[in-house]
Chains A and B, each alone.
Chain A
């Protein structure tokens, strides 16, 4: 119980204000992408993101990429096929536009969240209708 308390409490005192928002955004995205998962297994090549997300109680950071439910990707690399990819910058979303379900990135001087309809469909992901504003047919 103590550990759980710590896990829930720490994100909001340890992180700078912008990271608190970022954490809440990822919590919202992941909860809606995997609504029925008790624990969501996340792999990322971004150590800061992994560290940040590890403070969320329903997230488990995994080192084995094949074990992950979702890959949060910052750089280009060979990724296993059929994994759910989520990009952390515009360049990488452009690179994986045929595979990635979406991304959270800076463009035009503002942060953006975008999901690609066809890639969501390929992964049988049905987001709530309230997400429609964030879903596009193409990048």
Chain B
């Protein structure tokens, strides 16, 4: 006791000099990261990107973060859209990954996934990012998903100023953004952000009948975000507009000629927090998704003759109200919640061949009233042992044609702490939500839909053992998912999609080791192996991700090596192992002016992807070099 006393006495009395203040401020900043407040230990296997991490990584878009998540692979669809997969298994169902900006689920009702629109969003207005793997969304009070990515915006009270950032890469891409935030005398605080970019990527070529066709995947986007806080009210407005090239497209011979995606999504989210732990949220989303494919050598869809133009437009309107109340006692924390969402969906299609000898148009609409009630309880048996249980009922009622469905989710588990060790184990019974495009299309043109489809049912088991000392963390995580009522696409049936009696099992093992040299320097390594009951790997089964975050005097460093093992794709091509090396260097000219240089996929040896009907494989990420300037004022 006396030794402790003497040590602490020295600590209190010894900190008297200004030289220590800079180190203390640095420590205070690190320990005050907002991620320390928002992260939820009990929610699943968490990968956290703090503000300091994101700044050192010099991230431009969400893609830069998605490619640095251990065990989650960033992939690109043949139409240039962001997809995710996990070790050994090709793309996760679109509806099974959810993206939140603060408390707002930016999910399109027609696709059931936010990543198709928001996957490449700018993240300069984001403070930190939490990625929960093998989770359920009950504690977030929203729709079900096994991978949940939560983005938290910067807070006005911490900014009280403005920032300008501009960047350019060696392809000629340009990006610029600006934000400003202020706390005003009258108690109002605001944060406003605007971003514009024109991103250029490698063009690939395909030759067919002596003609060359380009696979372009450039994009242009604009994003405006505003956040106003007054007393217990919060108003958020987010507008995102993007145009993407069509990349490979869906033609029979993969010979695209123009086409692409024009999309925009706007939402308003209002949050009112009452004094007695009652939270009310209202939101409205409007999104438009306009997709065009042009291929002079034919596009084959449904039973139509060979097409040359395929155009489809989806308009979604989503209104949501969410009510939650917390009850807390010394050892117990109970959350009760309910939400109601009305999701309107409209689609307009136009399909024809070059001579207009065939033309088909359609115009459909439907709506879903989704209501949900949920409860979650956390009970501390003692200081070290916490039990967690949650239950949720989701009730799907469609305006017409599609059958009603009721779904039950349940989750139970515990967290046990012993000295420097922590053991977490959970079981989650859930389902994979269906997207409109799978269940509603009365004409079954251009794609087939089955209104009688059932959801895939899942059982997820996770166990996580962690050892943490002041400088080191070692953890072993095992997640296993069993799925039944799988969806299969059967070309011989009128409605295409149907449930199969087959079952599926996937198991992912992850070993992590992190060493923190000090507050500003750390090294992390993740080793992931996945296998599945198909006994075939449709994505790399083995992944190693090494990351280091460092600071030396006026320089910040970020280095990452992402290794993905070889495998044979579902199209039969051999995908060789990939080494993606990313490095970022930032120079702090002074406290307010920073110059950054970032190299992505520096050795040009990143993992590649195979596409149906394409004779060669294509890297998911380009070899790129960015130059950035950041100025705070």
Report whether chain A binds chain B: yes
Looking at chain B, what size class is its interface with the partner chain? 35 or more
Task: Kindly provide the distance from the CB of A138 to the nearest chain B CB, expressed in whole angstroms.
Answer: 15
Task: Kindly provide the distance from the CB of A9 to the nearest chain B CB, expressed in whole angstroms.
Answer: 6
In the assembled complex, B8 has its CB within 8 A of some CB on chain A:
yes
Given that A9-B8, A56-B12, A89-B183 are contacting pairs, would A108 and B160 also be in contact in the complex, using a CB cutoff of 8 Å?
yes
A91 — which chain B residues lie within 8 A by C-beta?
Answer: 160, 183-185
> What mask results when residues 1 to 16 of chain B are scored 1 for a CB within 8 Å of chain A, else 0?
1001100110110011
In the assembled complex, B36 has its CB within 8 A of some CB on chain A:
yes
A128 to B24, CA, bound (A): 17
Q: Is the CB of B17 within 8 A of A128?
A: yes
B11 — which chain A residues lie within 8 A by C-beta?
Answer: 12, 24
| Chain A interface, number of residues (Cβ within 8 angstroms) | 40
> What mask results when residues 154 to 171 of chain B are scored 1 for a CB within 8 Å of chain A, else 0?
100111110100000000
Given that A18-B32, A108-B159, A128-B18 are contacting pairs, would A25 and B25 also be in contact in the complex, using a CB cutoff of 8 Å?
yes
Q: Is the CB of B16 within 8 A of A108?
A: no
A111 to B36, CA, bound (A): 16
User: B interface, by DSSP: helix, strand, loop or mixed?
Assistant: helix
B157 — which chain A residues lie within 8 A by C-beta?
Answer: 89, 106
> What mask results when residues 162 to 203 of chain B are scored 1 for a CB within 8 Å of chain A, else 0?
010000000000000000000111000000000000000000
Determine which of B1, B4, B32, B163 lies in contact with A111 in the assembled complex, contact meaning CB atoms within 8 Å. Answer: B32
Determine which of A12, A57, A90 lies in contact with B183 in the assembled complex, contact meaning CB atoms within 8 Å. Answer: A90
A79 to B9, CA, bound (A): 34
Give the contact stretch, choosing among A44-52, A116-124, A129-137.
A129-137
In the assembled complex, B632 has its CB within 8 A of some CB on chain A:
yes
Q: Is the CB of B25 within 8 A of A31?
A: no
A131 to B25, CA, bound (A): 14
A29 to B159, CA, bound (A): 23
B592 — which chain A residues lie within 8 A by C-beta?
Answer: 108
In the assembled complex, A81 has its CB within 8 A of some CB on chain B:
no
Determine which of B8, B24, B28, B163 lies in contact with A8 in the assembled complex, contact meaning CB atoms within 8 Å. Answer: B8
A89 to B15, CA, bound (A): 23
A21 — which chain B residues lie within 8 A by C-beta?
Answer: 24, 27-28, 31-32
B15 — which chain A residues lie within 8 A by C-beta?
Answer: 24, 27-28, 31
Q: Which residue of A lies closest to B55 (CB)?
A: A109
Q: Is the CB of B51 within 8 A of A27?
A: no
B18 — which chain A residues lie within 8 A by C-beta?
Answer: 28, 32, 127-128, 130-131, 133-134
B28 — which chain A residues lie within 8 A by C-beta?
Answer: 18, 21-22, 25, 111
Q: Which residue of B lies closest to A29 (CB)?
A: B21
Task: Kindly provide the distance from the CB of A127 to the nearest chain B CB, expressed in whole angstroms.
Answer: 8
A108 — which chain B residues lie within 8 A by C-beta?
Answer: 159-161, 163, 591-592, 632-633
Q: Which residue of B lies closest to A107 (CB)?
A: B160
Task: Kindly provide the distance from the CB of A132 to the nearest chain B CB, expressed in whole angstroms.
Answer: 8
Given that A28-B16, A106-B160, A107-B159 are contacting pairs, would A8 and B9 also be in contact in the complex, using a CB cutoff of 8 Å?
yes
User: A interface, by DSSP: helix, strand, loop or mixed?
Assistant: helix
In the assembled complex, A77 has its CB within 8 A of some CB on chain B:
no
A11 to B25, CA, bound (A): 18
Determine which of A8, A18, A29 lies in contact with B31 in the assembled complex, contact meaning CB atoms within 8 Å. Answer: A18
> What mask results when residues 49 to 83 of chain A are scored 1 for a CB within 8 Å of chain B, else 0?
00000001100000000000000000010000000
In the assembled complex, A5 has its CB within 8 A of some CB on chain B:
yes
B158 — which chain A residues lie within 8 A by C-beta?
Answer: 106, 109
A-facing residues in B279-305 (Cβ within 8 Å): none
B185 — which chain A residues lie within 8 A by C-beta?
Answer: 76, 91, 95
Q: Is the CB of A28 within 8 A of B31?
A: no
A127 to B20, CA, bound (A): 15
B-facing residues in A1-48 (Cβ within 8 Å): 5, 8-9, 11-12, 16-18, 20-22, 24-25, 27-29, 31-32
B22 — which chain A residues lie within 8 A by C-beta?
Answer: 133
Q: Is the CB of B24 within 8 A of A24?
A: yes
A11 to B13, CA, bound (A): 13
Q: Is the CB of B31 within 8 A of A17?
A: yes
Give the 3 A-B CB pairs with smallest separation, nearest first: A18-B31, A21-B28, A130-B18
A-B contact pairs, 27 of them (CB 8 A): A8-B9, A8-B12, A9-B4, A9-B5, A9-B8, A17-B31, A21-B31, A21-B32, A24-B11, A25-B25, A27-B15, A28-B16, A28-B17, A28-B18, A31-B15, A31-B16, A32-B16, A89-B157, A90-B160, A108-B163, A108-B592, A108-B633, A109-B632, A110-B29, A110-B591, A111-B28, A113-B25
Known contacts A21-B24, A57-B12; 19 further A-B pairs (Cβ under 8 A): A9-B5, A12-B11, A16-B31, A17-B31, A21-B27, A21-B32, A24-B15, A25-B28, A27-B12, A28-B21, A31-B15, A91-B183, A108-B633, A109-B163, A109-B632, A111-B28, A128-B17, A128-B18, A134-B21
Where the two chains meet, the residues of B that have a C-beta atom closer than 8 Å to any C-beta of A are 1, 4-5, 8-9, 11-12, 15-22, 24-25, 27-29, 31-32, 36, 51, 154, 157-161, 163, 183-185, 591-592, 632-633
